[in-house]
Structure 1
Amino acid sequence: MEDAYLGQAKDIILGQDFLTWLWYKSEAKAGLFTMPDGEAFSLFMEQRISVQGGEGDSKETTSVSGLMSELREAKLGLAMGKKVTKGQIRIEVDSDAWQMSLRAEDFSFNGFKTPKVDTKRDEGDDPDAIFLEKMYLIERGLSFIDHLFFEFLKLRLSEGWAEECENVRVWLSK
């Protein structure tokens, strides 16, 4: 399938399609998502997004950042055929928040921040409790991304992908 915004047949980079789709979905759904067990969470692409277009020596990268920014310049880059290469993601569940930067090229995370872990220990507490809680929070934060990536792949490999690409085009034109 050849499309100017998502997944060109000659240059399919799944990570770029995923980040573009994630940005679109986060705005289309006002950031509201649900895990398979029914747990609601919010996800927003915020503060910093990089888009890139062109090939070889003529590659152009646009990075847009700013608190509470609408990221208009990055959206304009998408409308011109650029692809999302990196995005700042914020996930919230009740009073807990995770923040990370995800690179499309290799799905690597930078600056992965979890909710705060209480480091105060009482006598008799398990000495590994702080470490185990931090590992749990990392795993939980990654599970939200894993779930959304699974949803993306189901859609990406279905006949509904063409309609989703059209929805993205409409979103970009606003």
Structure 2
Amino acid sequence: MPFLRGSLGFERFSVAGFQADRFGDEHIEIFTQNAAGRNESSSTENVHVGFLAGDHLFDQAFDLSKNVINDAVHFSVRIDTNQIPAAIRAAWLSMELAGYAKDSPSGVPTKSQRKEAKEAVEQRCEVETASGKYRRMQQFPLLWDYANGLLYFGGSVGNSSAYCTDLLERTFEIELRRLGAGVIAQDWAVEADRYAEIDGLSPISFLDGETTGGHVWANEHSNAPDFLGNEFLMWLWWTLENESDTITLADETEVTLMLAKTLSLECPMGESGKETISSEAPVKLPEAMQAVRSGKLPRKSGMTLVRDGRTFDLTLQAETFGISGAKIHLDEDEEFDDEDRIDAIRTLGETVDGLFHVFCDRRSSDAWIKDIKKITKWLNVSDRSNQKAAA
């Protein structure tokens, strides 16, 4: 089961509307009734979506003791497509038209011949799809932490996640909401009675401390302030370089961290392109600071986190708060079962969110005025140092 073995990669959704206070046999039956491959339609070219029990691509053996672990349900969704690729359709049509053109005195197919060619291609598509030759199966692991009202989706958000979340919402009559940086900030603001402050924020330039326009990568369909994810990574970089490598969370636990392995930056105005730096400590390299000095902002960063004696390696995507390549470090003699693994996944998400909440607290308070002045000064000093070194 992917969430229980190896490295982790996921994006998260909040879950609302689940009426039961525990997961029981009746829910296992719902999974079984909607298992992948169980309900096929007569159409030869469509998309089938169904649940899997998690072990492999054809696993339909759902069981309470197998799939429910530590107040969380581990399962998968399989998406089956049975479609002829557009390039193959186009090739078949070209071949049909070439045959008509060869027999035509003018060398060009007539209008009626074009229609016949299209009909011939459609008939061929029906035969080929019925054979299953072009059937494609994709499996996506999910972890439904119903104790905390969260869904971990083992992939990046897109068409696949839309199929998965739609299936879950229809089947269990729940409501799922994607937890990107902006939504996480808004949820924190409601709890902290800071919603007006967070809602009134605009993207800021770290070079001069002034507000700027939107980012080219911003989701035009969302009003959530996802730009705070980019600013969070920038603030984290400055904090670790100039203040401390240990940050105290709201619950008074401490997180020691470093930015490591990879750093991706992009110009928010779309003027100077993208840059990805791979190194044990990418933020220590001069090209990283030069990229920020040119106006780029972090969009993705690798990091190592230590909290309560547990160490994690991961890569965090700024706007979506998607986590990839996450590894849970274990002691050599540590006993670590599936329940411990679920707890570690929870701790990882809570730790990343807790760090972001610390940033949101400062970003929406008077403390931000001091922080942005220090960050701007730090960047300017670094720039002057680079210029002096170059001279």
Q: Does 1:4 align with 2:211?
A: no
Which residue of structure 2 aligns with residue 104 of structure 1? 318
CA distance in 2, matches of 1:120, 1:154: 36
Q: Which segment is superposed worse, 109-118 or 79-88?
A: 109-118
CA distance in 1, matches of 2:334, 2:229: 39
> In the alignment, what sits opposite 2:274?
61
The one-letter code of the counterpart of 2:213 is K
Letter in 2 for 1:41: V
Q: CA deviation at 1:103?
A: 0.8
Q: Distance in 1 between matches of 2:370 and 2:303?
A: 25
- Decide which moves more: 19-28 or 6-15: 6-15
Deviation sequence 1:7-48 (CA, Å, 0-9, x none): 844226111111111111122233112234443331111121
Task: Give % identity.
Answer: 22
Measured in 2, the distance between the counterparts of 1:133 and 1:116 equals: 11
Q: CA–CA distance in 2 between the matches of 1:144 and 1:66?
A: 24
Paired positions, count: 166
Q: Structure 1 residues 79, 153: CA separation in 2 closer, same or farther (over 3 Å shift)?
A: same
Which is bigger in relative contact order (C-alpha 8 A, separation at least 6)?
A: 1
Cα distance in 2 between the residues matched to 1:59 and 1:72: 17
Equivalent of 2:300 in 86, 104, 115: 86
What amino acid sits opposite 1:74 in the alignment? A
Name the SS for the 1:10 alignment partner. coil
Report the Cα offset of residue 142 of structure 1: 2.0
- Provide the secondary structure at the position in 2 that maps to 1:74: helix
Mapped pair 1:131 → 2:338? yes
Please state whether the residue corresponding to 1:11 is helix, strand or coil: coil
Structure number with greater Rg is: 2
Q: What is the letter of the counterpart of residue 147 of structure 1?
A: G
2-side partners of 1:108 and 1:81: how far apart? 24
For structure 2, which runs of at least 5 residues remain unmatched after alignment?
A: 1-201, 216-226, 383-391
What are the ranges of 5 or more consecutive residues in structure 1 without an aligned counterpart?
A: 122-128
CA RMSD of aligned residues (A): 2.7
How far, CA to CA, are the matches of 1:22 and 1:103 in structure 2? 14
User: Taking structure 1 as reference, are residues 117 and 131 closer, same or farther at Cα in structure 2, changes over 3 Å only?
Assistant: farther
Determine whether 1:76 maps to 2:290. Answer: yes
Amino acid at match of 1:67: E
Compute the TM-score of the two structures, normalised by the length of structure 2.
0.38
- 2:322 and 2:203 mapped to 1: Cα distance? 26
Distance 1:16 1:120 in 2: 36
Contact 1:52 1:83 in 2 (8 A): yes
Does structure 2 conserve the Cα–Cα contact (< 8 Å) formed by 1:34 and 1:41?
yes
Aligned counterparts of 2:210 and 2:299: Cα–Cα separation in 1? 13
Query: Is 1:26 the counterpart of 2:227 in the alignment?
Result: no
TM-score (norm 1): 0.80
Query: Cα distance 1:73–1:115, how it changes in 2: closer, same or farther (>3 A)?
Result: same
- More deviation, 1-10/134-143: 1-10
Q: CA deviation at 1:64?
A: 1.2
Offset, 1:2: 6.9
Aligned with 1:14 (options 228, 234, 244): 228
2 and 67 in structure 1: CA distance in 2 versus 1, 3 angstrom threshold: closer
Give the whole-Å Cα distance in 2 for the aligned partners of 1:144 and 1:7: 30
Encode CA deviations 1:44-81: one digit per residue, 9 max, x unaligned: 1112111111545x451111111244132122211221
Given residue 134 of structure 1, which amino acid in structure 2 is its aligned partner? R
Q: Distance in 2 between matches of 1:143 and 1:88?
A: 17
* Separation (CA, whole Å) in 2 of partners of 1:2 and 1:17: 8
Change in Cα spacing, 1:4 to 1:145, as seen in structure 2 (3 Å) is same
What SS is found at the alignment partner of 2:280? coil
Say if 2:263 is the partner of 1:49: yes
**What residue number does 2:352 align with?**
145
DSSP-derived class of the 2:213 partner:
helix
In the aligned structure 1, how far is the partner of 2:345 from the partner of 2:355? 16
1:166 matched to 2:367: no
Q: For 2:205, what is the secondary structure of its paired residue?
A: coil
